[in-house]
Amino acid sequence: MITLNIDPVAFTIGSLAVRWYGIMIALAILVLVLWLVRAIRKGADISYDTLFTAALVAIPSAVIFSRLLHVIDKWSFYSQNPGQILGFSGLTIYGAILGATLAVWVYSRFASFRFAYLADIAAPGIVLAQAVGRVGCILNGCCYGSPTDLFCGVIWEHPGSAAPIGVAVHPTQFYEIILLLLMFGGLLWLRGRLKLDGALFMAYLGLYSLWRFGIGFLREGDPFLFGLQEAQVIGLIVVVVVVPLLIYRVRKARDELSE
């Protein structure tokens, strides 16, 4: 078993507690922005103005949607405590991904850039950013798994941790970081092979959604629909939409080339 005794609070400024989770989320955003800046420097057909405007619309949308899905998932609590609906104590990765994607897509309708092209460029960077963000989950003790007696079980010992203290659980955060790093390598390999705009981003969405559906059986969470957790339900919806769309577009592109 692995034991962790890390204070989720990195430091305090007066009465303000700065948590490791928030720091890692900020670093995750920085990683993605730097990834896109690097892509532009290497010749990507996106201007810096477009990139930073996209970031300005994506970040608040990601936070809003992330919080919204959390509130919906925990509605039994928030319906009784409406004063706590606004806040940053509970965020969901799916809300962040879908919120940011929607915001950038809407922005692309008013700006002169191809959304699918930018999404493909961003996909590997998104995966890296998620891996960094999951480190914040480890330090915070959130997003933990179900109890286990396996050798890889993790026991959080700090009383400020979000995980159950002194209980060995599946380190689902570690599992996901490993998966994300493997996915990062896979997306880099696919990047030169999937020529169709948007295909790489859809491959990322499909793969990650399959993962979230599967890992949900090892993660602690409240049933949302048909005994599945909210992230599992969203994952199924995304897979049902994205995978057939990706297959259709790839086949259509091949047919057009063969004509």
The rounded distance, in Å, linking the Cα atoms of 182 and 174 is 13
Instruction: Report the DSSP pairing between strands 2-4 and 9-13.
Output: unpaired
Q: What is the pLDDT of residue 165?
A: 92
Q: What is the pLDDT of residue 113?
A: 83
The rounded distance, in Å, linking the Cα atoms of 127 and 204 is 8
Q: What is the pLDDT of residue 53?
A: 92
Are 69 and 102 in contact, with CB atoms under 8 Å apart? no
Looking at the DSSP bridge assignments, the partners of residue 219 are 145
Q: What is the pLDDT of residue 255?
A: 61
Q: Which tens digits make up the pLDDT trace of 78-124?
A: 877 777 777 666 778 888 888 999 999 999 988 888 899 999 999 99
Q: Can you list the residues of the chain whose pLDDT is less than 50?
A: none
Q: What is the pLDDT of residue 87?
A: 65
Burial 123-146 (b: 16+ CB within 10 A, else e): bbbbbbbbbbbbbbbbbbbbbbbe
The model's pTM is 0.90
